[in-house]
Structure 1
Amino acid sequence: MTANEDQEMELEALRSIYEGDECFKEISPVSFQFRIGDLEDTKAFLLDVTWPETYPETSPQMTLDAFFNNRISGETKQLILSKLEEQVEANLGTAMMYTLFEWAKENQEALMENHKPVATSVTLISSSDSTSVTSTAKKKERKEQLTKSQKRKMISRTDHKGELPRGWNWVDVIKLSKTGGKDDE
């Protein structure tokens, strides 16, 4: 078989294996993305793989340059890629994508054991800002104080249970009928 026939057969197999799997994405017939881990997982990463023309006789190109991997340090990315390269060398000459993806899933914890999330943005708060934040929080906690006359007015509108009487906000239908509408003319 030629390299292209091997690629076509492996592509068919990958499509059937990962059909409906949200972790696998085919970008083109020779380029794929595979997410190792759940979206919410801080140790998840996205592996980009591209086949050269001579794949599987030569190793695929693998990168971790996707935006999804921004929080992973450069050292951790190098470790992951070097471990994956070892797997590629062991499987050279055979269809290896499924093997690579499954190996990465099984060894995710070991690959990411030294992972410390990289802070992508830093917010600085000076001490004066933090005191103003706490003082506004205290102001919001206080309830609005009513005067005695406001309290009396509220009580006079309600019944003995503190509820407004039935129909207190109803509209007078007779007044509405006197205003008329477009049909009256």
Structure 2
Amino acid sequence: MAANEDQEMELEALRSIYEGDDCFKELGPTSFQYRVGENGDPKAFLIEMSWPETYPDGPPTISMNAFFNNQISPAVKQSILNKFKEQVDANLGTAMTYTLFEFAKDNKEELMENHQPISSGIAVGNDTTVETSSVTATSKIRDKKEQLTKAQKRKLADKIDHKGELPRGWNWVDVIKLAKTGSNEDE
């Protein structure tokens, strides 16, 4: 019961601290995201954290599975998560969400020092999560989707609507224009 009261107090503190901060996102009452770095920064990354029932006496689940992190190699993600695990172990028993987010902000360069952006033609998905007692990392290669040129996309957009149907009236005749040209011919 005391853990729930601690969680409620920490939740209120997080809301007041990060009010108006675009980097912080509350996904639920026990689940949060924090973006370290600005959008467009090649060394920016997104941390997801969720609290189990036993939090803060038990460690939070920390994840880097967000699509935002797809440009980060699995080895760098694992390195970041290992450093977070050290911080979690040092802060166990206390409210640590703010501490962990601030640790990430303060140590962004160190955490991302071995980062080389993934820039191949294949999209790489990485599932990396730190759970209560284990650290896991797996990677998957997804099929590359066929890319359309801008001209091809425009042509498609001109022909069909969001339902994939031709817009109403696409083949209607302009009666006014026809009437004007018809009356000019009569004169």
Which protein has the bigger helix share? 1
Greater share of strand:
2
What's 1:55 paired with?
A: 55
Q: How does 1:59-138 map to 2 (within 5 A)?
A: 59-121=59-121
**Matched residue count:** 125
- Kindly report the root-mean-square deviation, in angstroms, between the aligned alpha carbons of the 2 structures: 1.6
Listed as ranges, the matches of 1:149-168 within 5 Å are none
Cα distance in 2 for residues equivalent to 1:112 and 1:118: 13
Q: Distance in 2 between matches of 1:30 and 1:59?
A: 13
* Whole-Å separation in 2 of the counterparts to 1:68 and 1:81: 16
- 1:4, CA displacement in angstroms? 0.3
Q: How far is the alpha carbon of 1:40 from its aligned partner?
A: 1.4
Structure showing greater Rg = 1
Aligned partners of 2:37 and 2:120: how far apart in 1? Answer: 20
- Which is bigger in relative contact order (C-alpha 8 A, separation at least 6)? 2
Percent of counterpart pairs with the same letter? 64
- Counterpart AA for 1:55: Y
Match of residue 21 from structure 1: 21
> Aligned pair in 2 of structure 1 residues 120, 63: CA closer, same or farther (>3 Å)?
farther
Unaligned stretches of 5+ in structure 2?
Answer: 123-182
Q: After the TM superposition, which segments of 4 or more aligned residues of structure 1 sit over 4 Å from their partners?
A: none
Deviations 1:11-41 (A, max 9, x none): 0000000001000000000000000111111
Unaligned runs of 5+ in 1: 123-178, 180-185
Letter in 1 for 2:40: E
- Secondary structure (helix, strand or coil) at the match of 1:114 reads coil
